[in-house]
Amino acid sequence: MASHPSLALLVIDVQNDFCAGGALEVMDGDAVVTGINAIMGEFDVTILTQDWHPAGHSSFASTYEEKAPFETVSLSYGEQTLWPDHCVQGSHGADFHPDLATDKADMILRKGFRPGIDSYSAFYENDRKTSTGLDGYLRSRNVDTVVCTGLATDFCVYYSAMDAVRLGFQVEVIENLCRAIDLDGSLATARADMQAADVILR
């Protein structure tokens, strides 16, 4: 007999570098931790994602001469926003926020570890082709609905939610358990795109 469909919580990049004092601080990023911890028990499957970049990553502004954070560069897969060095493998900044209940996770998925390609989505690297393996894992756990939380609403949460829809999952984003970077209106664009794709924002 087939098991009942499962509900998955996707906790995206709640890491020190995206929280207060971090290299790529998301305003009020720390505020999502308590609420995320409080709902973990409501889900059949909990996945934490972790940005995990090698030093000198192609998405770091410092990798290029005369480039500053938040400028762009053209890479093999298209335009890439350049960021301050962040979530470098093994660094304090790459660690999860110390208050996040990581012991409740079924799976920790690391992304962005390929030197030449960035990864916003929990499902695909930024070339939109290289899979992280999350899709297969969720299907093996009989997941049909993915609920997204974490950092940042308009980048990694947004890309993850859109890919989840594209892969056939029902998708919700809990907006008060996310925070945004909001680079040049990116939050409004992300919200409109998600709504148009039938992502439930709640």
Instruction: Determine contact, residues 8/146, Cβ cutoff 8 Å.
Output: yes
Just list the catalytic residues: 13, 111, 156
- DSSP 8-class letter at 96: B
Query: What number of other Cβ atoms are within 10 A of residue 156's Cβ?
Result: 25
Query: Is there a contact between 190 and 154 (Cβ–Cβ < 8 Å)?
Result: yes
Collect all residues with Cβ–Cβ distance below 8 Å to 75 and sequence separation of at least 6.
58, 116, 117
- Which of 48, 9, 44, 6 shows the shortest CA–CA distance to 148? 9
Q: Are strands 72-75 and 78-81 parallel, antiparallel or unpaired?
A: antiparallel
**For 160, what's the count of Cα atoms within 13 Å in the CB-facing half-sphere?**
35
Between helix 186-196 and helix 158-166 the angle, nearest 10°, is 20
What is the bridge-based pairing of β-strands 45-51 and 72-75? unpaired
Residue type at 177 in one-letter notation: L
